[in-house]
């Protein structure tokens, strides 16, 4: 047995029980994704909270890719910071970067079939050499098998090094290849190769290790895009029109998969849904508008460039008052930007999408459970308010696996289709004006096409019209209609989710506003700030337009920090514009390098505002139970 090292230095080993970060550095297209994902799922099956983030380039094959796994038994699933405790680097191209990311006292696992470049040696970390290439050359003849099983071998080695239960990995392999039994034993053998090598050559476990817990209970491990797709099915969507774009394509794919299971006529076997790949994003939105106008619940999914292209039709849906749902999985812009990196980049463009005076309802999910629930809500809100509803998720949430509360469904739930005038009401002579506000809430009654043979029809248009849908360019009538749309936008507050406020103390000097995936890192950051003696309230936005409680929260504090994952502080700008807030009162915290925001950055930026210095990440003590 040997202690992991490659130099004469004896660094103080980092230690942690169920509280550390493992990062894998691979070559894109090398088949590493399934092996890395198996590792994260194995940790989850040991009853431990885990989060996994795939950091990948926009090319198909060849460039570096990383997979970061955060384990924390306190339930923190946001990124801890920019360092890891164990780096498994099997990509020579990225090794200079990889070795720098290892925390002092951490571990750098590499393929030592060939000597490590001396320029990669640090005196404050531990080196673990596993001859991955030599093992695969000895065991396998086929080049592709050598590449694929190399990934499985390093998972086996890490399992031994951190006390990951081997039986859990065996169970995952059996589940993954169910129906392909001939693949099960070769994968188990590859795991054994790595596991046994580590056991025979190193003192296991390392200073960081796992210990089984029962902390995840009935939690699930799912990506946000899958949760949105399933939510759309349960939300009653029967039409999905889309155009492929990273990172939203898997929303449409998930919808089609789940609809194919749940929306099949039992008697005829025919599909009760339509999933259409359009020729571009504008066409996709046009199809959604047409389907929605005809009475279907329809949606599309895209990212920033698609929102730009859909702008004209979003304006039509707003002005013609057609309910549509748009799922915007945000990525780094502008233009093509960094298509496989995350940002909250479309807040302003989505809120005011299209030319002229438009405002759209926005939803901000923070985890997969929100993605499911708000997808269902989005269709109800769109129909109730007769307007586009845009859900702003992001690549981090959409394409990565998160632990989540179960996605539940109330069998007594009934869809809210809003104000629909029936054939019976029309036959009885009820006055119908498509844009006539009879309830003083800004929302008029609509009819489905073909509701009545002679009554209730109207001409749907994007040009100005009066209350009875008759074309007019009368300025007073136009203003009356635009003012009604403003009233309707305020009425939407009755149906959109309220912000979530967490009060932590009596000091109201500083508060924090955040939204979306920032929540995961924010919760941990607030604990670190608290350890420095500052108890700060925070408010998590869930929707736009803003509820009155948002302005009240800002008024209650001397200063409010607004956290944005974009360069320009777009949510801060929206708050200033919509609530007439003094910009000096809202302090921006912006992160936009394409990686998910982390707890260390938030805590340090918050403490910068209050005059404190840098802080160190919180670590779980190695002693079990502490």
Alpha carbons 372 and 230: distance in angstroms, whole number = 7
CATH superfamily of 16-209: Pyruvate-ferredoxin oxidoreductase, PFOR, domain III (3.40.920.10)
Residue 513 and residue 526: Cα distance in Å, rounded? 12
* pLDDT tens string 328-361: 999 999 999 999 999 999 999 999 999 999 999 9
pLDDT 10s digits, 378-390: 999 999 999 999 9
Confidence (pLDDT) at 296: 97
Fold exhibited by the domain 500-610: Rossmann fold (3.40.50)
Distances (CA, A) of 266 to 22, 269, 270, 272, 330: 47, 6, 8, 10, 37
pLDDT at 626: 33
Does residue 151 have a pLDDT over 80?
Answer: yes
Query: How many CB atoms neighbour CB 112 within 10 A?
Result: 16
For residue 617, pLDDT over 70 is answered with no
Domains 16-209 and 222-404 are alike in CATH topology: no
Say yes or no to pLDDT of 206 above 50.
yes
Which residues are paired to 89 by β-bridges? 25, 110
3-state secondary structure string across 109-146: EEECCCCCCHHHCCCCCEEEEECHHHHHHHHCCCHHHH
Identify the band that residue 453 occupies on the pLDDT scale cut at 50, 70 and 90. very high
Average pLDDT over residues 497-516: 95
State the helix-helix crossing angle for 184-201 and 166-176, rounded to 10 degrees: 160
pLDDT in tens, 389-412: 999 999 999 999 999 999 999 999
DSSP for 349-415? HHHT-SSSS---EEE---SHHHHHHHHHHHHHHHHHHTSEEEEEEEHHHHHSEEEE------TT---
Q: Which of the four pLDDT bands, split at 50, 70 and 90, describes residue 282? A: very high
**Residue 71 banded pLDDT, cuts 50, 70, 90:** very high
Residue 204: CB atoms within 10 Å: 18
Q: Domain boundaries in the chain? A: 16-209, 222-404, 417-494, 500-610
What pLDDT does residue 30 have?
A: 83
By the 10 Å C-beta count (0-12 exposed, 13-18 middle, 19+ buried), 414 is classed as: exposed
Q: Which residues does 280 contact at the CB level (< 8 Å), separation at least 6?
A: 243, 309
- pTM for this predicted structure: 0.94
Fold of 222-404: Rossmann fold (3.40.50)
**Could you read off the pLDDT of 601-615 as tens digits, one per residue?**
999 999 999 986 555
């Amino acid at each position: 047995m040997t202690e992991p090292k490659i130099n004469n230095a004896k660094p103080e080993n980092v230690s942690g029980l169920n509280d550390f970060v493992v990062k894998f550095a691979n070559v894109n297209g090398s088949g590493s994704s399934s092996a890395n994902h198996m590792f994260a799922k194995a940790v989850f099956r040991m009853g431990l909270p885990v989060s996994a983030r795939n950091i990948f380039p926009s090319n198909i094959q060849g460039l570096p890719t990383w997979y970061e796994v955060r384990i924390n038994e306190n339930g923190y699933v946001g990124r801890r910071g920019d360092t890891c405790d164990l780096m498994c680097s099997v990509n020579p191209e990225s090794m200079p970067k990889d070795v720098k990311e290892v925390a002092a006292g951490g571990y750098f696992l590499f393929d030592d079939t060939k000597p490590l470049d001396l320029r990669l040696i640090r005196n404050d970390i531990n080196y673990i050499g596993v001859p991955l290439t030599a093992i695969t050359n000895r065991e396998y003849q086929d080049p592709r098998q050598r590449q694929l099983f190399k990934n499985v071998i390093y998972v086996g080695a890490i399992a031994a090094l951190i006390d990951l239960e081997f039986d859990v990995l065996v169970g995952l392999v059996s589940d993954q290849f169910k129906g392909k039994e001939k693949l099960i034993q070769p994968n188990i053998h590859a795991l054994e190769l790595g596991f046994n090598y580590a056991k025979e050559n190193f003192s296991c476990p390392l200073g960081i290790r796992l210990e089984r817990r029962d902390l995840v209970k009935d939690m699930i491990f799912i990506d946000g895009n899958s949760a949105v797709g399933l939510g759309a099915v349960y939300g009653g969507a029967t039409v999905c029109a889309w155009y492929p774009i990273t990172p939203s394509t898997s929303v449409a794919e998930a919808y089609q998969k789940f609809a194919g299971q749940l929306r099949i006529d039992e008697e005829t076997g025919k599909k009760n849904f339509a999933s259409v790949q359009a020729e571009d994003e504008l066409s996709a939105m046009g199809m959604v508008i047409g389907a929605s106008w005809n009475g279907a619940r329809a949606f599309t999914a895209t990212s920033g460039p698609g929102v730009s292209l859909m702008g004209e039709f979003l304006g039509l849906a707003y002005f013609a008052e057609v309910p549509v749902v748009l799922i915007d999985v945000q990525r780094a812009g502008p233009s093509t930007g960094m298509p496989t990196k995350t940002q909250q980049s479309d807040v302003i463009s989505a809120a005011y999408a299209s030319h002229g005076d438009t405002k759209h309802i926005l939803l901000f999910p923070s985890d997969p459970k929100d993605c499911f629930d708000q997808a269902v809500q989005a269709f109800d809100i769109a129909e109730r308010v007769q307007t586009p509803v845009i859900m702003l998720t992001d690549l981090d949430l959409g394409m990565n696996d998160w632990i989540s509360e179960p996605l539940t469904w109330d069998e007594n739930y009934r869809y809210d289709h809003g104000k629909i005038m029936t054939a019976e009401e029309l036959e009885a002579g009820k006055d119908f004006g498509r844009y006539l506000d009879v309830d003083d809430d800004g929302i008029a009654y609509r009819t489905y096409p073909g509701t009545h043979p002679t009554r209730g029809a109207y001409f749907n248009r994007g040009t100005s019209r009066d209350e009875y849908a008759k074309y007019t360019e009368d300025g007073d009538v136009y203003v009356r209609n635009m003012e009604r749309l403003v009233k309707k936008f305020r009425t939407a507050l009755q149906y959109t989710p309220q912000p979530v406020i967490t009060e932590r103390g009596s000091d109201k000097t500083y508060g924090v506003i955040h939204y979306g995936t920032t929540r995961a890192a924010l919760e941990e950051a607030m604990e670190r700030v608290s350890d420095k003696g500052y108890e700060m309230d925070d408010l998590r936005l869930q929707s736009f337009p803003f509820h009155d409680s948002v302005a009240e929260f800002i008024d209650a504090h001397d200063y409010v920090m607004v956290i944005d994952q974009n360069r320009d502080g777009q949510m801060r700008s929206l708050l200033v514009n919509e609530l007439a807030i003094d910009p000096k009162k809202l302090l921006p915290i912006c992160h936009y390098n394409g990686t998910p925001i982390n707890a260390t950055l938030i805590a340090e930026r918050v403490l910068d505002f209050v005059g404190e210095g840098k802080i160190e990440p919180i670590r779980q003590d190695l002693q079990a139970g502490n």
